[in-house]
């Protein structure tokens, strides 16, 4: 099996959930299956916009970002629902937990898509077998369809996953680029928007192949460094690694673990939660952020998965605080059945510099004792800059933190109900 993997290159999957919001609603309510369904903002208002819709709705012309009145005109029997972002976030946590069963290198890029580096995944089978297993488990465990691209880098994997929807699996190799990608209109290339496509068209670049052969000086003059980057991508070059620690655009961080056996022992489960809390704490400190929300994921032996969340009065980063809160959430929701997987996720992250703790009766006395020290530190930072002093937990060695494969992060935009996502 190892011979089916490259000796020097990478094998990367891009997993993209199909019509995610609508699919989650259908999984939640089986009566919606096979019907034209749209998720829309401002459902009661004429100016409401379609966030996403089922493939049954798409067949009659309903599209993402379409005004609701126009969609109803095309499809009079269209079922329209408001978005339930808490439900979608819970499904997302479960999805990425599943992906981490196949690799430590999982990088979420939004609530419903992410990259998985399976270069060392030969123990699970060939790349195609792994993709098929993931797709099958998504359906069996969550009743959610996905498309998967298999390629040697992120760009090609993302491109491949878009080629067959829904429930497609596409392999895209570098040797396929010339006859698969190059004939396509440049506007169809991942990373090229409408305005960029128009600029390229003015340079007589009509296809992805034209871009691949474009003049470096002209491209850089027109689009800056992004012009060179797009040319590289058109030639199948993309050196970006799958980074589970990537947090620049995300607002949560967590860890989960599949237990070696189904567990009902309370002491054992508490120990697992403490271990997970430690990993979450390490990540929070490394990123210099605090969590203002906490989620606990519970998967039972029958594979049913639940995520329960709590908004916190005070932001947390310490292991004991996270463990105490996680245990409280867990024991309030556990039904006593055997547990197969547990996970803890810190959500709604804020930077340390932005954190303002709300004092209460329990923390006031302890915090008051620290006030003289905090004032002194504040004055030093004002005079010499915010980086002059950091707590010991934030100090990083020359080498990066080791990858903790069960880390998960979700885009901050999906924490706000007003966000309307353009979904393929």
Q: How many domains does the chain have?
A: 3
pLDDT at position 105 is 93
Asked if the structure places residue 243 within a domain, the reply is no
Point out the least confidently predicted range of 90-99, 335-344, 394-403: 394-403
pLDDT at position 360 is 43
Asked if the structure places residue 421 within a domain, the reply is no
Residues 75 and 43 in one domain: yes
pLDDT at position 383 is 52
Is the pLDDT assigned to residue 311 strictly greater than 70? yes
Q: What is the mean pLDDT of the chain?
A: 83
Per-residue pLDDT, averaged over 320-341, amounts to 94
Distance, CA of 179 to CA of 291 (rounded, Å) = 48
Distance, CA of 286 to CA of 80 (rounded, Å) = 43
Distance, CA of 256 to CA of 175 (rounded, Å) = 38
- 380 φ, ψ to 5°? -65, -40
Tell whether 112 is in a known binding site.
Answer: yes
Could you confirm whether 278 is annotated as catalytic? no
Asked if the structure places residue 218 within a domain, the reply is yes
Is the pLDDT assigned to residue 257 strictly greater than 50? yes
Q: In which band, very low, low, confident or very high, does the pLDDT at 393 lie, cut at 50, 70 and 90?
A: very low
Asked if the structure places residue 128 within a domain, the reply is yes
pLDDT at position 357 is 45
* Torsion sign (Cα): 81, 86, 88, 94: negative
If you count them, how many residues does the chain have? 424
pLDDT at position 30 is 95
pLDDT at position 345 is 92
Asked if the structure places residue 285 within a domain, the reply is yes
CATH number at residue 226: 1.10.150.20
Point out the least confidently predicted range of 32-41, 210-219, 288-297: 288-297
The closest alpha carbon to 39, from 74, 75, 80, 76, belongs to 80
pLDDT at position 354 is 55
Residues 227 and 264 in one domain: no
pLDDT digits (tens, 9 = 90+) for 43-57: 666 568 899 999 999
Within 10 angstroms of residue 133's Cβ, the number of other Cβ atoms is 14
pLDDT at position 418 is 27
Residues 9 and 76 in one domain: yes
pLDDT at position 254 is 86
Asked if the structure places residue 246 within a domain, the reply is no
Residues 150 and 3 in one domain: yes
pLDDT at position 45 is 61
Catalytic pick among 56, 113, 420, 423: 113
Residues 105 and 222 in one domain: no
Is the pLDDT assigned to residue 242 strictly greater than 80? yes
Q: 292 lies in which domain range?
A: 252-408
67 and 78 in contact (C-beta within 8 Å)?
Answer: no
pLDDT at position 361 is 40
Cα-to-chain-centroid distance, residue 238 = 20
Residues 125 and 199 in one domain: no
Six-digit token string for 420: 């309307």
The answer for 148, left when phi > 0, alpha when psi is -120 to 50, beta otherwise, is beta
Per-residue pLDDT, averaged over 229-240, amounts to 96
pLDDT at position 31 is 96
Residues 189 and 166 in one domain: no
Residues 23 and 155 in one domain: yes
pLDDT at position 353 is 60
At residue 71, the 3 state secondary structure works out as helix
Per-residue pLDDT, averaged over 229-244, amounts to 95
CATH number at residue 74: 3.30.70.270
pLDDT at position 398 is 36
Most trustworthy range by pLDDT among 227-241, 272-286, 353-367? 227-241
Per-residue pLDDT, averaged over 70-87, amounts to 93
Distance, CA of 353 to CA of 348 (rounded, Å) = 15
Asked if the structure places residue 6 within a domain, the reply is yes
pLDDT at position 47 is 65
Asked if the structure places residue 139 within a domain, the reply is yes
Tell whether 162 is in a known binding site.
Answer: no
Is the pLDDT assigned to residue 321 strictly greater than 90? yes
Q: Which residue has the higher pLDDT, 7 or 72?
A: 72
pLDDT digits (tens, 9 = 90+) for 151-187: 999 999 999 999 999 999 999 999 999 999 999 999 9
Residues 88 and 156 in one domain: yes
Residues 36 and 115 in one domain: yes
Residues 323 and 361 in one domain: yes
Q: In which band, very low, low, confident or very high, does the pLDDT at 380 lie, cut at 50, 70 and 90?
A: low
Per-residue pLDDT, averaged over 330-344, amounts to 94
CATH number at residue 401: 3.30.1490.100
Residues 289 and 389 in one domain: yes
172 and 149 in contact (C-beta within 8 Å)?
Answer: yes
Q: Which residue has the higher pLDDT, 89 or 19?
A: 19
pLDDT digits (tens, 9 = 90+) for 113-164: 999 999 998 889 999 999 999 999 999 999 999 999 999 999 999 999 999 9
pLDDT at position 286 is 79
Is the pLDDT assigned to residue 400 strictly greater than 70? no
pLDDT at position 278 is 93
């Amino acid at each position: 099996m190892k011979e089916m993997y490259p000796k020097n290159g990478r094998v990367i999957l891009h997993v993209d959930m199909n019509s995610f919001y609508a699919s989650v609603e259908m999984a939640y309510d089986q009566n919606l299956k096979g019907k034209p369904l749209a998720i829309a903002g401002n459902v009661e208002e004429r100016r409401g916009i379609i966030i996403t819709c089922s493939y049954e709705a798409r067949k009659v012309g309903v599209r993402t970002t379409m005004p609701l009145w126009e969609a109803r005109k095309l499809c009079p029997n269209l079922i329209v629902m408001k978005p339930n972002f808490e439900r979608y976030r819970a499904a997302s946590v479960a999805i990425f937990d599943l992906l981490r069963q196949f690799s430590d290198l999982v990088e979420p890029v939004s609530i419903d898509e992410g990259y998985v580096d399976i270069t060392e995944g030969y123990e699970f089978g060939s790349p195609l077998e792994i993709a098929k297993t993931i797709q099958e488990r998504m359906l069996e465990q969550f009743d959610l369809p996905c498309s998967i691209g298999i390629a040697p880098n992120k760009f090609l994997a993302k491109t491949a996953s878009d080629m067959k929807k829904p429930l497609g699996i596409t392999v895209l190799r570098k040797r396929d680029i010339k006859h698969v990608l190059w004939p396509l209109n440049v506007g169809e290339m991942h990373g090229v928007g409408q305005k960029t496509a128009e600029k390229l068209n003015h340079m007589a670049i009509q296809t992805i192949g034209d871009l691949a052969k474009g003049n470096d000086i002209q491209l850089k003059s027109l689009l800056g460094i992004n012009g060179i980057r797009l040319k590289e991508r058109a030639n199948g070059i993309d050196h970006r690694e799958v980074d589970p620690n990537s947090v620049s655009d995300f607002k949560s961080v967590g860890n989960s673990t599949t237990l070696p056996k189904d567990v009902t022992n309370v002491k054992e489960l508490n120990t697992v939660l403490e271990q997970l809390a430690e990993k979450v704490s390490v990540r929070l400190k490394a990123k210099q952020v605090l969590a203002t929300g906490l989620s606990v994921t519970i998967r039972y032996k029958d594979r049913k998965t639940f995520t329960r969340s709590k908004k916190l009065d005070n932001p947390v980063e310490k292991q004991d605080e996270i463990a105490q809160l996680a245990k409280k959430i867990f024991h309030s929701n556990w039904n006593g059945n055997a547990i197969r997987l547990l996970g803890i996720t810190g959500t709604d992250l804020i930077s340390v510099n932005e954190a303002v703790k709300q004092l209460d009766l329990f923390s006031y006395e302890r915090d008051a004792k620290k006030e003289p020290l905090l004032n002194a530190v504040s004055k030093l930072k004002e005079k010499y800059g915010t980086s002059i002093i950091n707590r010991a937990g934030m100090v990083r060695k020359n080498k990066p933190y080791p990858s903790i494969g069960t880390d998960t992060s979700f885009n901050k935009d999906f924490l706000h109900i007003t966000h309307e996502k353009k979904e393929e």
